[in-house]
Each structure stands twice: as structure tokens, then as C-alpha cells.
Amino acid sequence: MYINREISWLEFNQRVLAQAMRRELPLLERVKFLAITASNLDEFFQVRVGGLMLLQQSGKNHTDLTGLSAGEQLEMIRLRAARMVADQYMLLNNDLLPLLQRSGLAPMSLDELSEAQYSALEDHFLANVAPLLTPLAMEVEHPPVLPSLSIVLGVELADASDGSTRFVAVVLPECLPRLVHAATLGKDGYVLLEDLVAEFIGHLFPGERIVCSSPLRVTRNGDIAVAEQEGSNFAREMEAVLVARKFSDCVRLELPAATDMEFARQIATLVGADEFSTYRVPGPLRLVDMSRLASEPGHESLKVETWAPAFPAGVDPDLTMFENIAEGDILIHNPFESYEPVVKFVEEAAVDPDVLAIKQVLYRTAKNSRFIEALCRAAESGKQVTVLVELKARFDESHNMVQAERLQRAGVQVVYGVKGFKTHAKITLVVRRENGTLRRYCHFGTGNYNEDTARVYSDLSLLTCDEHLGADASQFFNSVTGLTKLRHFRRLYPSPAKMKEHLLELIAAEERRARRGERAEIRAKMNSLNDPEMMEALESASAAGVKIWLNIRGICCWVPSTPAGRANTRIVSIVDRYLEHARIFSFGNGGSPLVFIASADWMRRNLDRRVELMVPIENRALAARVLGILDACFRDNMQACLIGADGSSSPVLVQGNEPGFAMQQYLHGLARQSARARERAGRQTLEPHRPK
């Protein structure tokens, strides 16, 4: 049984919103989750709604797996998204804002200011805000295109002499903070930037009267792909895509509910929004900015307790990373364990005189990336450095282009991915001279090389110098840089060539065991599931008696259609303080589980249209650790939700006297316990032997 992808995603975002509704959580943690739902919804409209609108406009009669046309999906989205927005603002207005008010953290109304405060704010506007504002006349033959996702103040003006009116738009500069903390407002007092600008905007229009004003926000279609042509300059093509996004169609217009109806219609006409893409909200626009309240220093009692990452028990800080890896494979589970050893691996390689070559795939990097710094340093010192930079990483294209140019200036050989495919694999290869021979050290991961997101994304890293994996890593880079087929691998399973084929074989093997009456089991953890072949295979396996346990954070387009399949399958989603991002797959294999980590979800785009990697975990101790993570997924009865037949979610409830169990809390404690055990073992090793 298939579930519409877009509705499944909206149900995932509702699960995130449910965290903001939990009154037992600290206030600013709830505010953070509300801001996350707003950010998620922005990207959903840019990409998914934008893509469906393009499909509808094309006139092509394409339907999704559930048989719905683009127009039918857009109507479903409009109704479901409207309910979600109503839930967001009901939570904000009825619950969070009163609590913020009580804590002195709610935005102040200009009506409640004293005369001195009001005057000081006007001075602040004239000195620090007005010089940065640029009114844009909209009632011209070719009105300017308002930027996507920015807050804009729409203003109707009347001439003082003849009463004629005109319409202007004032884009609020992104360089100005949304929350205006002026000294006159006290320690935590602030007003919203749009309120400040609306109050004093008349200073910009001498001789004219403000008839009406309202903040507004336009979301534009971000689903514009680069047209890869033979012989084209790929970076230049990507620049064209970034320009096109600035002028793409409006897919959503947001206005305050109190906006005058006629004024709202005028705005909609000017930005090209129809009634179905207009959302009137009972509160401030761009709720994503509320995350700043949660991230600013102070008010620790209103936040969750910080979990400091433990230093990985498998890494000896007194040894180099090469010495550590040479002692045996290392598994790191961030952010429960520190991501620092992965960064250190590349930084040490950059300065190690015995390292001859470094090769790495970069998809999304931190703003001030230490990986980029290290790679530049390595190239400048004469090492052979090759980096595949994926320019098609959506909404990170501009950042990646800047990083690629910097790498090239340092002497790095930069490759811009594989034509027709996104390269999403997480892999680093370091070639080192040791005892007159070359040895290959590798890192494989489920998450990006981004030390910032590694603090909030839950991912796995494997560091190894295994000969077979090293040879495969070399073959992988030769294939993607030399544009040869992804074939002849010993241990790795890349997509689009090998991964899906092997996964289907593994599912079929479990189904054969079940049909013979043997125990058969599939357990997997991923972000999304929508690949038709994978879902068909799971459907058949579940009906045959295979026990299937899936932990899917986001989109899940499959639930079993037969009673036997439903009895054999459990699908859960966990939303907690960290974003669940690791992909883990386990197949029972008659009692000797086959365990893999991967960069890919079981989505058509990952398995058929991206260059990805699936890596076996063959070290027994590390495989047991990975299986322990899966065990914890399905024990969670505090943060987990069950996915129902219609794609909706219901919380997993504690049964009877069963103790409460939260996966992330358990994994955090486990990482700290392992680190302490390693420290104790190290101290005992250093102590001299004292005979009795």
C-alpha cells in the first residue's frame, strides 16, 4: 500500500511540531522545534510545491504512485499545509507567546513603550535602519521581483497634493537583525524589525501619506535544475540556475491575517500569487527566526541541558589518527561521540610528510570549514589533492562554488561531480607511504563533512585501513573522476550501479528463508523510503513472514497491504533533540547478521540518480555496536511514533509497568560510559605493578 510522498512529508513535519507542543519540555526547546517546522515548510514549498506547479503547468499527465495528478496533489497539500499553519500559530499565540511574555522574552508592541523609549527607537531607526532601506516602486511597467523568503513591507502611499496613490515595496535587509534589541528596551526587550520599519517608514516619503502597510513574504520556486550539456561550463550553468531562482514563479504568499482585503489582493496581483497560494497567518511571518531566541546565550533554565559529546572510546588521543586506525577499524557515532577525530584525520593528513595524496567528496561543508582549510594546506605543501565538489547540493550551490574556487586557487584538482547524477557519497581516501610501500586509509560516513551539523545530526563514521576497502576507495575515485562505470568492487556497493541490486538480493534471501520456515529478519534505519522496487520487495517479504523493522525519520511511502504483512512489520519514526540522519541496514542472514551503513536512503533518487556508497561493517565488535543502535530505535517508547496505514503518526506509548526508554538519551549515556571505561583502562595501564 502506497502513501503519497508529499502528505507523508507533511506528517513528518507534524511530528516535529508535536515536539513543540510538549509542555514538559523547556520553553526555548519548544520554540526551537516550532522554528524548525517553519524552516522545513519553507523548503517544502520551494522544492516540492514548486516542482508540482511546474509539472502541472507543463500539461503532462504524470501521476504519483498513488495515482494522483500534480493538480490533485497540490490541492491535498494546500488543505494539509493550511491545517499545519493553523496549528503552528495556535501553539504560538495560545501557549508559547504567553510563556515568553512571562519570561520577558516576547516581542514588545510599540504601543506599550514609554514616550522616551519610543523616541529612542525612532532615533535608532533613523541612524541604523533607514540608510539601508531601498523603496521599490511596484506600479511600473516592469515591477522589480521581490526576493524569496525575505520579509517585505508593502506600503500604499497617497500624494499630499492630489490624493493619488501608489504602491511601493521595502525589502528588509538580511544584514539587519529581525529581533531589534535597542538599549532603551532593557536587557531582554526587543521589537520586530517589520514593526519598527512600519512605524517610522513615513520618514522615507516626505510629502506623502501612508494609506496602508503590511509585511509580506514571497516563496519562489526553487526546483530549477541545471541543464547539463556536452561541453558546457558546469559552474557557469549552475550560476544561471541561481539567477533563475531569484526570478522564478511565486509558489506561496504569506500575509498577516489582519491585512486589508483590497490591499492583500493588490499585493497578490503584483507578486503573481493566486488565492490557493496565499496564506493569511494570525501572527508574525517567518517563524524560523524564532530559533534565534533559542540559540542566544542566557536563559539556560529555559533550555534543555547541554549534552557534551564524549571522546570516542575507540580513539587514543595520545596517538595520531594513522596510528589509531592501524590498530583496528574505528566507529564514531556523532554527536554522542565527538566528530573531532574525523576532522583530525584530514588535518593530520594535510601536514604529514608521508602522506602523498588525499581524495575527498564534499557535498555540504561548514561555513568556515576546517576540511577546506586542511585540503588547501595539503595542496600548497605539494601533496596530490583531488576533491569532488557537488555543485548540485540544493541551496548550497553558491557556497560550494565559492569553496571550489578557493580549493582551485590553492592547487587542488577540483572535479564537479558526475554528469546527470548528484554525488552524495561520503568518502575520504588518504594514501600514505609506510615502510617503502603505500597504504590506504579511508573514512566512510553517513553524513556530510560538516563539523557544524555534526553537533546536531546523528551520523556514523567508519575509519579503516582495510586493504579491500582501500582498493575499492581508489576504484571509486578513479570511476567518478575518470567517468568510468562503477564496477569491479570488492566490498563497497555504490549506486546507481550496485547498491539497489544488492539490497534487493538481500531482501529476497530473507524472503526465501521465511518461506522455508526459517527465522528471517530485516531491520533498517533511514531518512526516507519511496523507491517502488524496494517497497515491492518489502511488501512481498513481509507477506511471506519476514519480520521487518523500519525506523524512518521522514518520508515513508509504504505500509504493508496484507494482514500478514502488517503483522510482521513495525515502522517507527523518532524525532528528538538531534536530527536522526544515519542510514543503517541489517539482514538476519540465518543468525549471522549482515550489517551496512550508507549515505543513501531507500529513495528512487538515491538509488537510481545519485552516486552513493553502502559499506559493510565486518568487524564483529563494531557490527554489534551498530546493531545496538537499531535495538535502541525499536525500544524507544518516549520519542517514537508509529506510522499508520494512511501515513499519519501516533506516539508509541509506555505499556503497563514498562520503563520509559528514549533512544538518544540512552545513546548519550552509553557514549559517556564507554569513554569513562576507556579512561579507567588507560589509567590502570599507566600505574606501576605493585606486588602483594
Q: What amino acid positions are annotated as catalytic residues?
A: 424
DSSP helix/strand/coil, 667: helix
Residue 506: in which H helix or E strand, if any?
helix 499-515
Q: Cα–Cα distance between 338 and 674 in angstroms, integer?
A: 13
- Whether residue 181 contacts residue 189, with contact meaning beta carbons closer than 8 Å, is answered with yes
Residue with cell 574525523: 342
Q: What span, in angstroms and rounded, lies between the C-alpha atoms of 404 and 402?
A: 5
Give the integer Cα–Cα distance in Å for 263 and 253. 13
Q: CA-to-CA distance for 525 and 547, rounded, in angstroms?
A: 15
Measured between alpha carbons, how far is residue 441 from residues 363, 401, 535 in Å? 20, 28, 36
How many whole angstroms from its chain centre is CA 234? Answer: 25
Cell 554522542 appears where? Answer: 336
Helix intervals (H) in 67-209? 70-91, 97-102, 115-124, 193-200
- Smallest CA-to-CA distance from 543 within 567, 510, 519, 565 is with 565
CA–CA gap between residue 540 and residue 238 (Å, rounded): 42
Say if residue 324 is exposed, middle or buried (CB neighbours under 10 Å; 0-12, 13-18, 19+).
buried
Q: How far is CA 532 from CA 14, 47, 293, 538, in A?
A: 25, 21, 42, 10
Helix (H) or strand (E) holding 38: helix 27-44
Residue 329 has which C-alpha cell? 577499524
552 touches 643 (CB < 8 A)? yes
By C-alpha distance, which of 572, 566, 686, 28 is closest to 299? 28
Are residues 490 and 466 in contact, defined by beta-carbon separation less than 8 angstroms? no
Amino acid letter, residue 94? N
CA–CA distance, 251 with 54 (Å, rounded to integer): 10
Closest CA to 387 of 98, 539, 409: 409
Tell me how far the alpha carbon of residue 458 is from its chain's centroid: 11
Contact between 537 and 558 under an 8 Å Cβ cutoff? The reply is: no
Contact at 8 Å (CB) between 432 and 354? Answer: yes
Chain centroid offset of residue 400 CA: 16
Choose among 462, 461, 433: nearest CA to 349: 433
Q: What is the largest CA-CA distance in the chain?
A: 106
Strands of 228-366, DSSP E: 250-256, 278-281, 330-334, 355-362
Sequence-distant (≥ 6) Cβ neighbours of residue 342 within 8 angstroms: 332, 443, 445, 449, 454, 461, 463
Q: Are 451 and 485 in contact (CB under 8 A)?
A: no
